Structure 1
């Protein structure tokens, strides 16, 4: 029988804390019965929520603390004041000590990255960690990284991102040799910053296994699904992410306004409701919620701070796949070559 996947949850993180993290865990447990949880946070708040969900309560251990990292805390401040005692740190520590396979938090992104680097350390052979996210496209989904972990990159770091993103794509997208593109201002090899062109040369000439480098891609190629993995540095990646999220909300607002502008429009909406429902589901950010911290000696999932229970459950299930199909071994095999070829991502 396959072993259980253990999830350490920073229950106090995010805009809503246990009011979202606990029901989110319950939803994930319904779909993944082999999940087990370590919840870190105020037991006086978490306890009654668990008591109302007996199945989740039976699968959960609570580690009590009343200290929570504020959503507006500076990373350095959070690291000084929240180390060892905060719910965020305790969730990461559970991974470090082998009590959990992954940590999930909806808390302060900068604080979570700072604590994760300090607690779990960066993987050998990886210069800096990155945040990778799932991006809905016309073809399905792509992985985009870095979407905000670090600012700036040299060619070697971009190559690391390509390799780590490909390792994640093998698991999440179930593609043996994912296509990888470097985000650039044009597809011609003469365009772009020197570090991007140098990274492209390394990827093109390196003939890396389990990775199909297809060259440069532009911003509009992300939504087209031109590459399974799109690589950029964190400043550009975060702007691209926030722009896409804002555009999606803008489009949704325009659509709602148009559908209620007249009785003919409302009638048209009713006649095409199933199509609009399908579109709404595909564009629902909760279903692609969760950024994966890559390059650490442990798996950390960052949930959107303002998400609801469904979104938090999606982040947990993303982490479940990362642990079940051994993301860390795949990255080590591809980045370091320590253990020979990468592990088969579909063998638990």
Structure 2
């Protein structure tokens, strides 16, 4: 439950592009592997961004499918049976969106719902990408401002998508702070009691970021009535977000995957740019923009230096960007999210958008 990759058994994994940065987590080992191109394809799990952040931090590709689409049998976690927020299994790749589609097709062609009856019995469909779509750019989630390199990549994406004939609009985020309040309360319905129990039994200390993750859980378990209220709020929020997409005529939302290109080791504290799509249960993919952090292009401007953070969390995350050199060489990723259960359409759109933005694999400086 932290977006870093360190444990008491195998130690710490580093980012393949900059060893002062984390590869993300909790699927950070796989993120580093695809980032190094050690493996063409890997598997991760995601309950708040643990596929997408490692893929984004390490310059790879990652996909979070709609919950209850991919099989979960055999997964070992310290929250078996937790129903408040479903984690998912999904693919991570080093080369292309097509790799992620291949994984989805190979898995779902086996009809796993015949064995795992909680899954939706929906085969994988082949969807042809189309430019007849509306992509909304979420420049900021209204809570935490992204760092300058992220904004530069989004500006490049907008310019290239419009030049390619894609309809691009701005997305005004819908109550993302409210979404975080709901999902963070639902992550640990037992007050993290099972995790604490397992740590006591093993005798190992909690890692610092694990302790930090525990800190936003309630000190006592949710009562049944409290859980019901939060789950009802979860479902209402999902419906409201879906209705807003339909009302605004938006097919996909292009956004950052994280406020930073990759977190400095030990500083992975904010993940609502990914967790919000777990909250809404929308499929989401990340892919490299082809850009990397450039000390010259990504220096703080005079306007940046005058920025007044909106809250303490925004201030904490903005102050981490002390200089672009701190993140030098980190790949800049983007994230695209689609409507609920539109997994195939989301990957098709991600493939087209990635090809338009960075089809030749060459970095662009804008």
TM-score surpassing 0.5? no
By percentage of residues, which structure has more helix?
Answer: 1
Greater C-alpha Rg = 1
TM-score computed with the length of structure 2 as normaliser: 0.28
